[in-house]
Amino acid sequence: MKRREDFFIHTLPNGVRCVLKQVKSAVCYCSMTIGAGSRDELPGEIGIAHLLEHTLFKGTSKRKAYQVNCRLENLGGEINAFTTKEETVVHATVLKGDFRKAVELIDDIIFHSTFPQTEVDKEKEVVVDEINMYKDSPEERIYDDFEDLLFAGSQLGHNILGSKRSIAKLGSEDIRRFVERNYTTDQMVFAAIGNISPKNFVAAVERYFGQEPATKRQHQRVAPSEVERFERSISHPNHHQVRCVMGARAYSLSNRKRLALILMTNILGGPSAASRLNVAMRERNALTYCVEALYTPLSDCGMFTIYYSCDRDKQEQCRRVIAAELDRITSEPLSQRQLSIAKRQFIGQFATSSENNEAYMLGVGKSLLVYGEVDSSEEVYRKIGEITPEDIMEVAREILPSLSSLTYV
């Protein structure tokens, strides 16, 4: 096992990478991050990555569905999963003494699930209900509709859940083919945070994950083609408020400008009440209850967005205020004092989020999957510290002038 500052990293012969961070805690958090998400679906498979995530818990070669669900819950722990555009993550929370049991169960459901058709059919009904709930949430749905337009013509341009029609066509054999094509050991990272010794960590991952055969992904993801800038409106006469997403393509996970864009996003519309858009739109003008800016980096591209909701008669005023703030951050360099405050604010937010061991564990797993390494907190702070006012203006000028928009009116 290789030690790198706060982390122990161990790669199994079959290619599964494993990372441990030791902390003093009675609880251990662990996860398997798999580089397979909705963008890896072929035509005719829309929604299968998410359906697969559901059916992982519906029985294995040695466990029935209720045995999977009760294995950790009977010990006071839990196991769950989620799907994104590019990953599927199975994660568990257990007492430190039950760490080996969590590793064994994660191995069992990832490598030995059987996907019985009767259980798949049941879970399809659950997913349809999830789709119906999502349709009743315009705050979530508008983001998906915007992504469909921003990434039109690519596998990034469809909803993770799929549609009722696409889900209805999927079966056990489709799921098994997706697993065989995408759940390969070279695309897996197991991460754990807890009071576990490196010796016991290695013994557990070798005992279970290490026994699985090595597999390698045979296909490459295709980067999305460019799309023309757009301004679209969709009528929702029963909604009391206007909702709008403005956004553009942005930098990938490997782009050196990524951290500068993260900092700019935080300055413009991050979680702080002092973010520029919140001050201008909510505190100063009382135009909205909710405004936020987000940056989502992906393996070969990314997305920057601004979201707000407002009363119908305040829509144009909101747009004018946003335009003024975008012009300001594009044309006026931050003073050293403003930049220093922004950096301290971001570092404080990062440090606070790092205290959440579960969220930190999930971030560590993705970092090792994407970059092949994990930055310590000190390295993150150093990189943030190197950002200049010119860096902020550069990313603002590259991203902000090309914003498209989608509005629910």
- For residue 318, the model assigns a pLDDT of 97
Q: How many helices (H) and strands (E) does the chain have?
A: 15, 12
Domains 2-211 and 231-408 share a fold: yes
Compute the distance between CA of residue 285 and CA of residue 292 in angstroms, rounded to an integer. 16
Residue 304: closest CA among 267, 335, 274, 273? 267
What confidence tens digit (pLDDT) does each residue in 22-71 have? 999 999 999 999 999 999 999 999 999 999 999 999 999 999 999 998 99
Tokens 């080996």 belong to which residue? 100
Does residue 353 have a pLDDT over 90? Answer: no
CATH classification code of 2-211: 3.30.830.10
Question: At what angle are helices 99-112 and 198-207 packed, to 10 degrees?
Answer: 30
Does residue 175 have a pLDDT over 70? Answer: yes
Q: Report the predicted TM-score, pTM, of the whole model to 2 decimal places.
A: 0.92
Query: What is the DSSP annotation of 161-187?
Result: T--HHHHHT--HHHHHHHHHHH--GGG
What confidence tens digit (pLDDT) does each residue in 91-128 have? 999 999 999 999 999 999 999 999 999 999 999 999 99
What confidence tens digit (pLDDT) does each residue in 291-338 have? 999 999 999 999 999 999 999 999 999 999 999 999 999 999 999 999
27-34: strand order across its sheet: 2-4, 7-11, 17-22, 188-194, 27-34, 88-95, 78-83
- CATH 3.30.830.10 at 231-408, yes or no: yes
Q: How confident is the model at residue 3 (pLDDT cuts 50, 70, 90)?
A: low
Residue-range domain boundaries for the chain: 2-211, 231-408
> For residue 66, what is the DSSP state?
H
Residue 316: count of CB within 10 angstroms of its CB: 10
